[in-house]
Structure 1
Amino acid sequence: MWLTGLFSLLIIVLYEQFGFVAAFAIVLLPFGAVMAVQISTFFIILFILFSYFRLHEAFPILMPLKIPKLLALASLAGIVWHLFISRKLKPHWHTGHLVFCLLFFWLTVSVFAAKDRPLAMMYWSDIMVKVFLMVFVISWWLKTVSAFNWVRFGIMISGTLVACVALYNKANGIGLVEGTRVTISREFRSQIGDPNDLSLVLMFPVSFLAAEMFSSANSNWKRFFALLGLCTVIAGIIATQSRGGLLGICAVLGYFIYQKVKNPVIVMAIGGAAMLVLLAVAGISDRQSGGAAEEGVDASAMGRIYAWQAAINMATSNPLTGVGVNNFISNYYFYSPHWDGKNHAVHSTWFQVLGETGFVGLALYFVMIAIIIKSLRRSYLISLRLQNDNLALNANALRAGLLGFVVAGTFLTQAFTWPIYILLSLSLALEKMANEQLIEQ
């Protein structure tokens, strides 16, 4: 009884001091806590989608709601409940978890050894800590076919929505870089406010939509809608005029075409022709940087070469830890062989890891990629053994997504943001589910 009275008093005080919104929020808090426990999987899937696609930034009307933070809290509340109280969640350990922990440890070391420690620490606390927690949350909690189907569906829908926003911005001249390259919410300094980063974010739904379209187990209607979504997302990537993104598209589609054709010569011929068509449609020659007006090695390519040289210089000067996480741009001037008056991004995932975490960090990063490849290969082989079309579909989508990341990431900078770590966690969760289905068989 006294708890009810205390709770009522708290509502009255909040209403008097902070208004209706604060009082309403405290009323909803118990219901939110119950929902976080009962439908934890739902909150985790939403957290994946909002974190990866930056949906709240693509649709700015959602930004005041602080949805990613609320979803993270709800996900963690559900995990803590089911881990320590209901004990429905049974943690499992994989070599991938160990390698990821080692990489995170080395990232932390490089933070304390960074040239600009406050800058590195801010990135570590804002991004990397969340990534660390959610890798375990996702890989432990997504353990049913239904959960994976919802993840796949959410990725396809979210990617299509973000691509629609990109195409709308392109058509209306909103947030264009260099006059022609599309961005989203650039005014909010969003992660997808850079055309190269936007193209890499859209690469993941390309792999899932392509897997859906090429799956012979799906109905014609499913494949038709997947084709519509795929064309929309590819159009969004084309609008960014990112050459790395176009290469990623060719790699993903080439993966599925190879599964059907089984002739590498034909696949390479189709890929080469597709690349020429995509370059022409994207209007790369009209770009202010890297366009047809620049003779020889264009400015965009030379900028990458200078940035990669700077990354190598950072690593050779600091072979163990590099210059520190999120410190490449601020240290570009000191290590680049060419200075044009401004700092530049590294434009390569691999050189970013090398320059910011040294040779040790790069070795651990490569090992993590190898773990993902082996994990997905095991899941795919199990799906063939069990003749499980749904399992094969998820494995194929993730394998194509990894291939797209590796190819596009060679020219784009996404080493320490969500894409590769979501791939890691989904791959480990899928392998666990595949092994359990194999045991049950």
Structure 2
Amino acid sequence: MRDILVTLLVFGGLPFIFKRPYIGVLMWVWISVMNPHTQGWGFATTFPFAALIGAVTIASLLFTKEFKNLPLTPITWVLIFFVLWMNVTTVFALYPTEAYLQWNKVMKIMLMTFVTFMLIKTKQQVQLLIWVIVISLGYYGVKGGIFTIKGGGTDRVWGPENTFIGGNNEIALALIMTIPLMHYLQSIVQKSWARHAFTVAMLLCAVAALGSYSRGALLAIAAMGMFLWLKSQHKLGLALLGIMAIPPLLAFMPEEWTQRMDTINTYEEDESVQGRFNAWWMAFNLAKDRPLTGGGFEVTMPELFYRYAPDPLDIHAAHSIYFQVLGEHGFVGLGLYLLLGLLTWRAGSWIVRNTAKRDGYKWAHSLATMIQVSLIGFYVGGAFLSLLYFDVPYYLMAAMVAIRVLVEKGLREEGGKVVEKATDQSVRTPQFGQVASSNQQFFVQNPGSNSMSVGKS
């Protein structure tokens, strides 16, 4: 039944993609993030739904008469250079055959990421993208939370098999990233029952993350919660909510969970942690030997551990987005990836600054903040997981770029006041192939006042 339902939804949605190509992006995100076909047991589990949706979306993008462009912001340019650099490192990969297989997967993700940049342009489309991400991951959060409560937390929560989020650590991080996005959607729904439903869903996602027994997830929750508190305008209320909710959740978990979390303080004695350190040293030593290109995709090989790792017999994946990019794409790749994260953060900060106390852009202010909170969770939790190519952070980058473009365009048209010089992320929305200047000055007038401020675009 599930196989038939997924098949009907996909094939029933294909005709709408030709009329509105952005629907193809939403369907792609749903299939690639949620992987609903893995919840069945028949033919749908192996049917190439993602390839079909991707092909139809790209075809509609090429033939549609709608305005389409790639917003050439600093974020976009760095992502382009990062993708190009991954192609360079593949040419010089130590294991060409294995590298090509991974390259093929990653390039499909990056291609659809750029399609997302091009097609998600309006407020409604950005919000629909967030809805799809939340529904796709929230399904596992609600399901996993109920599973944890019913079992008393004795069994671990796992994600869908053979996906980015199949492991217990991976699904935990994905659910942590989802909670801030749920909080944003909760703030825009009108019905009180919907707001209460989101509260329950967020709590269940938190319970599911704890039920995964992931130590990295616990650290990510702590970092994300602290940042959310710092950014919140209701610090006292948020602190009281944390005091009321966190102790009962921790007390609910069994002794086995507490013992595993306690190993954070005794990491020197934990074999799993020491194995990760061993993999990190291997990646670092490999990058020192090949500083520009690294080893290319797929460097978790016995020969490389024998040559570069302190313990050549303890073979692990990188278990860190930072050491993963370092080992596979060298110091250049690491620099581009860190710069990509920094620019995304600064774009969010620009949005928050320039939409503060503007009722018309309250949605942008709130969403940019929650995306920042979500990415904090990812960048902290990702320090302990091999999720460099997990697609959700890239979709959030696309959403951040779209919000930035909408806010800047709206402020110019309305004569709104820009809070400070926007030298870091100012963008125009040029036609595809046209480079946006970063030095052109513009002046905007604050309605109802005589003040004038200067910025750059």
TM-score (normalizing by structure 1): 0.79
Give ranges in structure 1 of 5+ residues lacking alignment: 1-24
Indicate yes or no: 2:33 matched with 1:52: yes
Q: How far apart are the structure 1 equivalents of 2:144 and 2:35?
A: 13
User: Does the 8 Å contact 1:353/1:415 carry over to 2?
Assistant: yes
Indicate yes or no: 2:364 matched with 1:382: no
Q: How far apart are the structure 1 equivalents of 2:70 and 2:267?
A: 57
Indicate yes or no: 2:391 matched with 1:418: yes
Report how many aligned residue pairs link the two structures.
401
Aligned residue for 2:54?
Answer: 72
User: 1:193 deviation in Å?
Assistant: 2.3
Q: How far apart are the structure 2 equivalents of 1:33 and 1:326?
A: 35
**Cα displacement string for residues 76-118 of structure 1 (whole angstroms, at most 9, x for unaligned residues):** 1221122xxx142233311111111111111111112111111
Superposed CA RMSD in Å reads 3.5
Aligned residue for 1:334?
Answer: 307
User: 1:204 deviation in Å?
Assistant: 2.5
Structure 1: which amino acid aligns with 2:219? L
How does 1:140-151 map onto structure 2 within 5 Å?
A: 140-151=118-129
Structure 1: which amino acid aligns with 2:51? K
User: 1:283 deviation in Å?
Assistant: 5.1
Identity %: 23
Aligned residue for 1:242?
Answer: 214
User: 1:349 deviation in Å?
Assistant: 0.9
Q: How far apart are the structure 2 equivalents of 1:91 and 1:439?
A: 20
Aligned residue for 1:201?
Answer: 174
User: Does the 8 Å contact 1:290/1:298 carry over to 2?
Assistant: no
1:104 to 83, 98, 107: 83
User: 1:191 deviation in Å?
Assistant: 2.6
Aligned residue for 2:315?
Answer: 343
1:435 to 401, 408, 419: 408
2:157 to 182, 187, 195: 182
Structure 2: which amino acid aligns with 1:68? A
Structure 2: which amino acid aligns with 1:351? F
Structure 2: which amino acid aligns with 1:69? A
CA separation of 1:170 and 1:263: change in aligned 2, threshold 3 A:
closer
User: Does the 8 Å contact 1:159/1:233 carry over to 2?
Assistant: no
CA separation of 1:307 and 1:181: change in aligned 2, threshold 3 A:
farther
User: 1:250 deviation in Å?
Assistant: 2.4
Q: How far apart are the structure 1 equivalents of 2:261 and 2:33?
A: 28
User: Does the 8 Å contact 2:30/2:132 carry over to 1?
Assistant: yes
2:111 to 133, 137, 150: 133
User: 1:230 deviation in Å?
Assistant: 0.5
Q: How far apart are the structure 1 equivalents of 2:150 and 2:249?
A: 22
User: 1:409 deviation in Å?
Assistant: 0.8
CA separation of 1:389 and 1:184: change in aligned 2, threshold 3 A:
same
Q: How far apart are the structure 1 equivalents of 2:249 and 2:272?
A: 18
Q: How far apart are the structure 2 equivalents of 1:182 and 1:33?
A: 33
Structure 2: which amino acid aligns with 1:102? F
User: 1:292 deviation in Å?
Assistant: 5.9
User: Does the 8 Å contact 1:58/1:185 carry over to 2?
Assistant: yes
Secondary structure, aligned partner of 1:193: coil
Secondary structure, aligned partner of 2:296: coil
**Cα displacement string for residues 162-184 of structure 1 (whole angstroms, at most 9, x for unaligned residues):** 224445766899xx9xx943323
User: Does the 8 Å contact 2:123/2:403 carry over to 1?
Assistant: no
User: 1:383 deviation in Å?
Assistant: 2.5
Moved more, 355-364 or 53-62: 53-62
Indicate yes or no: 2:16 matched with 1:35: yes
**Cα displacement string for residues 354-373 of structure 1 (whole angstroms, at most 9, x for unaligned residues):** 11111111111111111111
CA separation of 1:393 and 1:422: change in aligned 2, threshold 3 A:
same
Aligned residue for 1:192?
Answer: 165
Aligned residue for 1:10?
Answer: none
TM-score (normalizing by structure 2): 0.77
Structure 1: which amino acid aligns with 2:74? T
Aligned residue for 1:316?
Answer: 288
User: 1:282 deviation in Å?
Assistant: 5.1
Indicate yes or no: 2:199 matched with 1:227: yes
CA separation of 1:295 and 1:357: change in aligned 2, threshold 3 A:
closer
**Cα displacement string for residues 1-27 of structure 1 (whole angstroms, at most 9, x for unaligned residues):** xxxxxxxxxxxxxxxxxxxxxxxx9xx
CA separation of 1:291 and 1:394: change in aligned 2, threshold 3 A:
closer
Q: How far apart are the structure 2 equivalents of 1:135 and 1:104?
A: 11
User: 1:304 deviation in Å?
Assistant: 1.9
User: 1:439 deviation in Å?
Assistant: 2.5
Indicate yes or no: 2:94 matched with 1:122: no
